[in-house]
Amino acid sequence: MTRTDVRYGRLSDNRDYEEEIEQIRRYEDFTTIDWIQDSIVERNRRIRNAKALRDAYRGPRGEITPAWVWAQFWRFIGAGEPWLVISLVGIFIGVNAALISIISEWLSDIKMGYCADGWWLNQQFCCWEVESDEEFCPSWHLWSTATPARWFIYVMFAAIFSFVAAHLVRSLAKYAAGSGISEIKCILAGFVMQGFLGYATFFIKSLTLPLVIASGLSVGKEGPSVHVACCIGAIVASWFQRFSRSQGKMREIITAASAAGVAVAFGSPIGGVLFSIEEMSQMFRIKTMWRSFVCALVATFTLSVMNPFRTGKLVLFQVTYNRDWHFFEIIFFIVLGIFGGLYGAFVVKFNMQVAAFRRKHLATHGVAEAVILATLTAVIGYFNRFMRIDMTEMMSILFRECEGGGDHDNLCQMAVQWPMANSLLLATFIRMGLVVISYGAKVPAGIFVPSMAVGATFGRMVGIMVKAIYRAYPQSGIFAVCDPDVPCITPGTYAFLGAAAALSGVMRITVTVVVIMFELTGALTYILPTMIVILVTKAVGDFLGTRGIADETIRFNGYPILEKEEHGIDVSVSEVMKKDLDILFASGMLVSDVERLLESTNVKGFPIVTSESSRTLVGYLGRTELRYVLDKAQNMDVSPNTPCAFTRQASDQEDFVLSDMTSGSALGVEEEVARELIETSASIDVLKLWPWVNQTPLTVSPRLPLEIVMQLFKRMGPRVILVEEHGLLKGLVTVKDVLRFNATEEPVGDLQWDRGELEAILDVMWNWAIGVAQTSMEWCRRLIRR
């Protein structure tokens, strides 16, 4: 790509480069939260409240009065308010998760038949007294005894469910589509997306999620469950003024809600907390961790009390293993880890290509796309025993031990082990392709459970093969450690570990997956195999340069967020900063001049300098604060020719504003105090705007490396950083400027694969994996025949 000078913003005539810059300009659609400003406002509010409690209600000699006791009581209530909010959020999340699980199970079963004892009962509750899956259930009636008719009804229900879900999303809540995890990561990083966590999104996503799951689309409910949980957190927090007026406190509740969403999705409260730390938040405080833990605990407890499956399990695929593993199985665990890494690279790569095709050709056909995908999935999947049933039910079957009710549909029978392995391999690759084309459709769609389902079918196939080898050569030295009285190989554990590998490969999370899998099984003995599998998966993903599907979605959609591990280019901030700035002068400007400046620009704030010639930096004033003051002043008939003062003069009283306003804006004061300031300013010949000026903005030297500036953005969260040298303003830089620059440059020191090279590596490794699987199965068949 040719360009004259990218670093200084001069564009070339290259059309590809112009299209790239046009994509980056989408960042301008987002509003950024200034976390430093938010902290200052919160600090001033806390100081005022503490001073009011300390000074008010005391007697003339400082004695305790009933009013003071009453104030202390309300202070105690205020201290417990966050825990009340966290508890309410957890309760509502647990109730919502239970209802979604119950409705999803009923809708999934209604495609196959109905219960004669009550139309509202799913197959499990209808056949509650039937002890095994093979036993006939007289209360459950299939829609037809003819296979073609059953197939047609199955496909028809899938199409209807997907149509209703997609239509409701398109008509009532467009933000209800997708997983939502990528957007929540951006929100927690400080970007405002109006309506994404609102009432409409919550109700529509909660209503359509069971429909999508029942339609059979290869998408999951766990990612959308996190989005729904965050909606609940934002809605409940908005009922309390303490959280609704503070962006930082609101996001603490949203972070805790995301932990609770994962906790109820997997029955894993600690795994949910770790997920919020590892995946969701860029900066995580101990206080937030405790609140996340309490919220996850309350949500999980509520789900347990409701007991949606009437089995005592929090999730359908929860399982317990009684047997230990053997060290020779590590070889096969490594194979599962390699598969997880390859699966993640494959899905992320091709799903982004499908997303690009969807954006270009299917942007206005979301409903039709969802219906076609659901119909295609139903048509193909009906004839495969592992794709016909719900994915969570399928995993619960594949995870079980063969002994003790795990022989579902002859899954453990030696006579049909090779047809069963073929069916599992076919389900693996079909499901993989369906995940690639289905994730991102305009319906609530997650990727957690579909990925786990892919890994479970592949892992169970590997487990069957290993078990076949053991039965063919029980006296081999590799199996010498096996007790002849106890089954040596447990294929269900391979399905379990394969699910963990696939989930880790596509999401690029590690510790969280280990803890979730431990809490699902409750078996300490399988922590080490899980860690081995996840370690291999991560190594393969790192080698291929794979990013998590959520991070790739953020990049694809152009969401402005600096990732935790993103590194800057080896340049100084002077090569990235904006130099042509809209500025305010400390004196000499009229109200009409400021109004014209606001009308002619859409920037979020203005640096203030002494004069056009000296450009000595005085402070920074946000657009919101400036517009706020001018609107209030106009209501009091301030003349457009009134001079504006942005710096405090010697004649101004020191107690004009609160004592702690020198490092922040006065927008954080109470409404009546702010109005008093404006009235006082407007009563004289000059409109004094200096109380709203941030006189100590964050500044850096133009020679500071860009990577250090990125660390300041990630750790302190300012909206803007001013660049000054010896007191003179040189420019400013924002997160969007950094992202624009990084998008046009290749990071130094990072391993980057050319697109063709990456495709070649993926193709070779994928063909190798398929070849190994086919060769191993043929080898095992020959061993058995001998």
Place of tokens 């063709």: 756
Identify whether residues 737 and 623 lie together within a single domain. Answer: yes
Mean pLDDT of 452-459: 93
At 780 the pLDDT is 54
- Is residue 549 in a domain? yes
Give CA separation, 433 vs 50, 57, 350, 375, in Å.
Answer: 60, 69, 9, 15
Q: How many domains does the chain contain in total?
A: 4
At 661 the pLDDT is 39
Domain boundary among 276, 293, 311: 311
For residues 652 and 383, the model is more confident at: 383
Q: Which of 17-31, 196-210, 289-303, 306-320 has the lowest mean pLDDT?
A: 17-31
Classify each residue of 549-578 as buried b or exposed e, where b means 16 or more C-beta atoms within 10 Å of its C-beta: bbbbbbebebbbbbbeebebbeebbbbbbe
At 5 the pLDDT is 36
Position 311 confidence tier, pLDDT thresholds 50, 70, 90: confident
At 656 the pLDDT is 42
Nearest Cα to Cα of residue 339 among 500, 186, 208: 500
Position 459 confidence tier, pLDDT thresholds 50, 70, 90: very high
Half-sphere exposure of residue 666: CA atoms within 13 angstroms, side-chain side: 23
Identify whether residues 75 and 169 lie together within a single domain. Answer: yes
Identify whether residues 331 and 250 lie together within a single domain. Answer: no
Return d(Cα 325, Cα 488) in angstroms, integer. 8
Return d(Cα 738, Cα 160) in angstroms, integer. 46
Q: pLDDT (tens digit, 9 = 90+) per residue, 90-128?
A: 999 999 999 998 898 888 888 888 888 888 888 877 877
At 55 the pLDDT is 60
Mean pLDDT of 579-607: 87
Identify whether residues 320 and 306 lie together within a single domain. Answer: no
- Is residue 27 in a domain? no
- Is residue 5 in a domain? no
- Give the domain CATH number at 620: 3.10.580.10
Identify whether residues 707 and 764 lie together within a single domain. Answer: no
At 408 the pLDDT is 67
Return d(Cα 708, Cα 660) in angstroms, integer. 29
- Is residue 451 in a domain? yes
Q: Which of 13-17, 168-172, 322-326, 760-764 has the lowest mean pLDDT?
A: 13-17
Identify whether residues 299 and 328 lie together within a single domain. Answer: no
Cβ contact 239:84 at 8 Å: no
Query: By percentage, how much of the chain surpasses pLDDT 90?
Result: 23
- Is residue 375 in a domain? no
| The pLDDT of residue 752 is above 50 | no
Position 21 confidence tier, pLDDT thresholds 50, 70, 90: very low
| The pLDDT of residue 216 is above 70 | yes
Identify whether residues 737 and 772 lie together within a single domain. Answer: no
For residue 20, what are the contacts with CB-CB under 8 A and spacing of at least 6? 743, 744
- Is residue 566 in a domain? no
Kindly report the pTM of this predicted structure. 0.81
For residues 746 and 171, the model is more confident at: 171
Q: Which of 61-65, 538-542, 588-592 has the lowest mean pLDDT?
A: 61-65
| The pLDDT of residue 567 is above 60 | no
| The pLDDT of residue 178 is above 70 | yes
At 397 the pLDDT is 85
| The pLDDT of residue 194 is above 60 | yes
Return d(Cα 469, Cα 776) in angstroms, integer. 10
At 473 the pLDDT is 81
Identify whether residues 639 and 774 lie together within a single domain. Answer: no
| The pLDDT of residue 681 is above 80 | no
Identify whether residues 321 and 305 lie together within a single domain. Answer: no
At 564 the pLDDT is 59
Domain boundary among 268, 290, 311: 311
Return d(Cα 762, Cα 422) in angstroms, integer. 24
Cβ contact 256:89 at 8 Å: yes
At 748 the pLDDT is 39
Identify whether residues 779 and 631 lie together within a single domain. Answer: no
Q: Which of 241-255, 638-652, 659-673, 764-778 has the lowest mean pLDDT?
A: 659-673
Return d(Cα 739, Cα 743) in angstroms, integer. 6
> At what angle are helices 222-238 and 66-110 packed, to 10 degrees?
150
> At what angle are helices 366-381 and 417-438 packed, to 10 degrees?
180
Q: pLDDT (tens digit, 9 = 90+) per residue, 385-396?
A: 888 888 888 888
Give CA separation, 483 vs 218, 263, 323, 412, in Å.
Answer: 40, 37, 11, 19
- Is residue 217 in a domain? yes
Cβ contact 438:445 at 8 Å: yes
Nearest Cα to Cα of residue 702 among 609, 579, 600, 620: 579
Range of the domain at 107: 37-123+138-311
115 bridge partner residues: 140
| The pLDDT of residue 749 is above 60 | no
At 58 the pLDDT is 58
Mean pLDDT of 545-574: 77
Mean pLDDT of 469-474: 82
For residues 645 and 37, the model is more confident at: 645
Mean pLDDT of 654-665: 40
Tell me, what amino acid is at 755? R
Return d(Cα 234, Cα 212) in angstroms, integer. 24
Question: Which range has the top average pLDDT, 284-288, 629-633, 636-640, 726-730?
Answer: 726-730
Q: Is the dihedral of CA 399, 403, 404, 410 positive or negative?
A: positive
Domain boundary among 502, 530, 559: 559
Position 20 confidence tier, pLDDT thresholds 50, 70, 90: very low
Identify whether residues 604 and 504 lie together within a single domain. Answer: no
Mapping DSSP to helix (H, G, I), strand (E, B) and coil, where does residue 146 land?
coil
| The pLDDT of residue 13 is above 80 | no
- Give the domain CATH number at 399: 1.10.3080.10
CB atoms within 10 A of CB 702: 16
Largest CA distance in the chain: 104
Average pLDDT along the chain: 79
Q: pLDDT (tens digit, 9 = 90+) per residue, 491-533?
A: 888 999 999 999 999 999 889 989 888 887 776 788 899 999 9
At 760 the pLDDT is 61
- Is residue 31 in a domain? no
Identify whether residues 737 and 761 lie together within a single domain. Answer: no
Structural element, H or E, at residue 541: helix 527-544
| The pLDDT of residue 753 is above 70 | no
Token pair of 600 as six digits = 């002619």
